[in-house]
Amino acid sequence: MRLSHIVLLLGFLFFLGLNEATAQSQIPARTTLNEVVESLTNSDSDRLSGYFGDQVELVILGKNQVLSRTQAQYVMERFFSKFPFSSFNTLHQGEASGTLYALGEYRSSAGTFEVNIFIKLTSGQVTELRFARKDG
């Protein structure tokens, strides 16, 4: 086999290995996304906070806060109390810059919210969660 063929074959095998590693690193993030959505539908702030990193950015009704996991759990508990769950619909998801993101709609008897969820691909931890009231 010529050297150029060997180099080409090794490059191809290396590329396949990188793609497999990338796909494997996305598994925790995708699992976290499913668990976060389930936590939202169950208004389970304790379970939800288990997917937060040591610190998480919460943006609720325009108030931006970087909180510890415990503080964020309390804020979400209050949110669920004030805005009891009616339905959740995932509208879009994708990934960029090492982050899995999802856009959804959280409905409550007290209002409808656009929800943005950001999860770090490598750790599978929620880094940011945003709730913005939808007009109309």
How many CB atoms within 10 Å of residue 75?
A: 19
Question: How many other β-carbons are positioned within 10 Å of the β-carbon of residue 98?
Answer: 11
Fold that domain 26-133 belongs to in CATH? Nuclear Transport Factor 2; Chain: A, (3.10.450)
Amino acid identity at 10: L
Burial class for 10, CB neighbours closer than 10 Å (0-12, 13-18, 19+)? exposed
Strand partners, 69: none
Check whether 20 has a pLDDT greater than 50.
no
Q: pLDDT tens digits, residue range 47-90?
A: 999 999 899 999 999 999 999 999 999 999 999 999 999 999 99
Please give the Cα distance from 95 to 26 (Å, whole number). 10
Which pTM value belongs to this model? 0.78
- Beta-bridged to residue 63, according to DSSP, are 60
Mean pLDDT for 32-48 is: 94
Please give the span between the terminal C-alpha atoms of the chain, in angstroms, as a whole number. Answer: 68
